Homo-oligomer: A and B are copies of this chain.
Amino acid sequence: MTSLSMPRPPRITIREVAQHAGVGIKTVSRVVNDEPNVAPATAARVRASIDALRWEPDAHAANLRRTTTRTRSVGLLLGSVANPFAATMHRAIEDVAAHRDVAVFASSLDDDPEREVAAVEAFVRRKVDGLILTCVAESQEYLAELVPPGMPVVFVDREPTGYTADCVHSDNVVGAGVAARHLLGFGHRRLALLIDRRSIWTARERERGFLTALGEFGVPTDTATIVADLSDQDAAERAVMTLLAAPDAPTAIVSGQNLITIGAVHALRKLGRHRDVALVGFDDVELADLLDPGLTVVAQRPQEMGLAASERLFAALDAGRPLDPARIVIPVDLIARGSGEIRPPAPESA
């Protein structure tokens, strides 16, 4: 019989290349790894044989013995690869990585602590060279025993708890403060803040910034409505509908995240209150400038964040040792387009 199992693909090994070039396997190894002490003529012959046989060294076998084992891959954990904010960071990170011939494993977190741990485990099992993580678990202490010594970790978007490493994030407190002050400056005194689950660090930070700004304007915090646990567009839309139906409804809304913003805009439209109730979103969204009124946002800089995070990661990888953990805070930009410049219906007493 002619073998029932799959015909073993005739993989070319270093041995055949060595034989073809008439040298020892170690010499071939030297050539492909740019190690010194190979005569130019020998190297040329070896290279010719490699090309002739179309040999691709087996990275896994190589890493098996190599001390400085590098898989040229990194793990990237994002809120969701489908979220434009995360996707933009992803792209920036990929560009930096691709430039160094490093591949990126991307996973979606979905703000589920269990997925966080599972994703990191999966990355580690695949022996990535480093990790860029968006976290949501209450604590990242688990990383201490999960992440092998020497594997660099950079957090993006959210600060970790119980694990010290680089972290790149937006200036959330300032950003939310800017949003709130912008509205307060236009005379609003009854504000609402719509945020995601408080298990998410950015939600907490933005809430903090929001409340601080209220304080600065002497607005008692109990006049503000804070709706949390808004994790998608629909929930945000419903929340705004409810909010505006209540007596003493807010005259201005700060949205804590891109999906919430979109949900809020939908609700305002449905209620016909979009020229009436002020709205400032956190994180920019596509087409925001073409709405009527235009959507005022505190824009993040996701590309810059991805860039900074990947540069930190590769810096640590290049150094071959953990760097002193840095916290990199990326500024945010208020972009006034109309929705945030709507004045409250009547002069209010502070």
A326 interface residue, CB < 8 Å from B?
no
Taken together as a complex, chains A and B put the C-alpha atoms of A286 and B287 apart, in Å, by 8
CB distance from A232 to the nearest CB of B (A): 13
Q: Is the CB of A59 within 8 A of B125?
A: yes
Interface mask (A86-106 → B, CB under 8 Å = 1, otherwise 0): 011011001100100101111
Selected interface stretch from A38-46, A76-84, A183-191: A76-84
Chain A interface, number of residues (Cβ within 8 angstroms): 60
Chain B residue nearest to A69 in the complex (CB)? B60
Stoichiometry, copies per complex: 2
Q: Is the CB of A103 within 8 A of B122?
A: yes
A262 interface residue, CB < 8 Å from B?
yes
Q: Tell me the chain A residues, 166-211 only, with Cβ under 8 Å from chain B.
A: none
Query: Which B residues touch A241, using CB under 8 A?
Result: none
Taken together as a complex, chains A and B put the C-alpha atoms of A91 and B78 apart, in Å, by 11
Taken together as a complex, chains A and B put the C-alpha atoms of A287 and B284 apart, in Å, by 12
A288 is contacted by which of B5, B127, B287 (Cβ under 8 Å)? B287
CB distance from A134 to the nearest CB of B (A): 14
Query: Which B residues touch A72, using CB under 8 A?
Result: 126
Query: Which B residues touch A56, using CB under 8 A?
Result: 124-125
Query: Which B residues touch A149, using CB under 8 A?
Result: 7, 9
Query: Which B residues touch A61, using CB under 8 A?
Result: 60, 64
A94-B81, A105-B104 known; A269+B286 contact, CB < 8 A: no
A126-B59, A126-B103 known; A88+B82 contact, CB < 8 A: yes
Query: Which B residues touch A105, using CB under 8 A?
Result: 73, 103-105
A312 interface residue, CB < 8 Å from B?
no
Chain B residue nearest to A105 in the complex (CB)? B103
A87 is contacted by which of B87, B125, B148 (Cβ under 8 Å)? B87
Taken together as a complex, chains A and B put the C-alpha atoms of A126 and B128 apart, in Å, by 12
Query: Which B residues touch A286, using CB under 8 A?
Result: 84, 262, 285-287
A290 interface residue, CB < 8 Å from B?
yes
Q: Is the CB of A101 within 8 A of B122?
A: yes
Q: Is the CB of B108 within 8 A of A150?
A: no
Q: Tell me the chain A residues, 1-25 only, with Cβ under 8 Å from chain B.
A: 5-9
A81-B87, A150-B6, A285-B287 known; A64+B59 contact, CB < 8 A: no
A9-B149, A94-B106 known; A266+B285 contact, CB < 8 A: no
A73-B126, A105-B104 known; A5+B91 contact, CB < 8 A: no
Taking A60-B60, A60-B127, A104-B107 as given, write out 15 further A-B residue pairs in contact, using a Cβ cutoff of 8 Å, ordered by the A residue number.
A9-B148, A58-B64, A58-B127, A60-B61, A60-B63, A72-B126, A81-B94, A82-B87, A82-B90, A84-B87, A87-B87, A90-B106, A98-B107, A285-B286, A292-B292
Q: Which residues of A contact B (CB under 8 A)?
A: 5-9, 54, 56, 58-61, 63-64, 67-68, 71-73, 80-84, 87-88, 90-91, 94-95, 98, 101, 103-108, 122-127, 145, 148-150, 262, 265-266, 269, 285-288, 290-292, 320-321
